[in-house]
Amino acid sequence: MPRVTLVYDYLRQEEKLLLNELRGVGLEVATLPATERPLKMGGKPETDVAVIRTTSMFNGLYAAAAFESMGVRSVNQFRTILYSGDKALTYALLARAGIPMPETYIALGSRAVFEAAKLLGYPLVDKPPIGSWGRLVSLVYDDFNLVTVVEHREAMCNRQMRIHLVQEYVETGNRDIRCLVLGGRLLGCIYRIAREGEWRSNVALGGRTEVAEVTPELEEIALKAAAVVEGDFVSIDIFEHPEKGYVVNEVNGTPEFKGFMRATGMNVPRLLAEYVKRLAKA
């Protein structure tokens, strides 16, 4: 019987559902709390596939890398977690592949941030390359605001927090589209709509969800974005840009799918379990 290991930090509702479905499709499932046990680089594998479901990007990245060092297939692969976990790398890959995205500058120092602001004009969006749930994604109206953001980021210890992605603010009516891709297939898309008094549509910030119609353009851009990060199971956040049409804003390498299930009624963990099973037997 093919063996699979579910790697997690917290067993959320999503991981419990997935655990059930992995067993349901006939896999032998072990669970691994990521921080509890050391993993030997190049050690003898005791599993066929590692399914990474950590909330911490770094836990997921390093667990995936450790499993791959043993020759175990990881879902997602560490490369995918790395590329999608760092927004600067995501944008670099999207841009290189010619996939539409918001106009974005990377600034490695304060002077470069202010220069980027001059090129873009206000309002603009500033964010660091790492971070989840919309945190530190800042709407900036003017130079005073930008000084506030720059000074705060300068005061942070972590070098990556002092890197700025400076972007055009895309007027979207405070909603975006989240598409879920599994194994090169688009499962579907939903709208995420920001709550009253918040411009970011993240569910973690109170946003609500609604099914979105899948158009061929939406499918094309979502699949292309998944491909550039070499993602098995990823979500793609897309803005409807007033002039440019669909633009990819972000890719998530350990996607939450609770809101998606609620909106679409699809059994995502079942589909994921079946995909993992195919990999395990390969």
In the complex, the smallest distance separating the C-beta of residue 128 from a copy of itself, rounded to whole angstroms, is 9
In the complex, the smallest distance separating the C-beta of residue 233 from a copy of itself, rounded to whole angstroms, is 20
Closer of 20 and 69 to a copy of itself (Cβ): 69
CB contact at 8 A, 84 and 61:
no
In the complex, the smallest distance separating the C-beta of residue 275 from a copy of itself, rounded to whole angstroms, is 23
In the complex, the smallest distance separating the C-beta of residue 160 from a copy of itself, rounded to whole angstroms, is 6
Closer of 214 and 279 to a copy of itself (Cβ): 279
In the complex, the smallest distance separating the C-beta of residue 205 from a copy of itself, rounded to whole angstroms, is 9
Distance CA 195, CA 208 (A): 7
203-237: b or e for each residue (b if 16 or more CB lie within 10 Å)?
bebebbbeebeeeeebbebbebbbebbebbbbbbb
Residue (of 126, 121, 178) closest to 151 by Cα position? 126
Bridge partners of 166? 105, 126
Distance CA 228, CA 83 (A): 9
Q: What is the largest CA-CA distance in the chain?
A: 61
Q: What angle do CA 228, 199, 246 make, to 5 degrees?
A: 35
Looking up tokens 């049409």, which residue turns up?
245
Closer of 167 and 252 to a copy of itself (Cβ): 167
Closer of 198 and 210 to a copy of itself (Cβ): 198
Expressed in angstroms, the distance from the first to the final Cα of the chain is 13
Distance CA 255, CA 275 (A): 15
Exposure on the CB side of residue 250, measured as CA atoms within 13 A: 24
CB contact at 8 A, 86 and 94:
no
The number of angstroms, rounded, from the C-alpha of 80 to the middle of its chain's C-alpha atoms is 9
**Please, which residues have CB within 8 angstroms of residue 274's CB and are 6 or more apart in sequence?**
25
In the complex, the smallest distance separating the C-beta of residue 203 from a copy of itself, rounded to whole angstroms, is 16
In the complex, the smallest distance separating the C-beta of residue 184 from a copy of itself, rounded to whole angstroms, is 22
In the complex, the smallest distance separating the C-beta of residue 102 from a copy of itself, rounded to whole angstroms, is 9
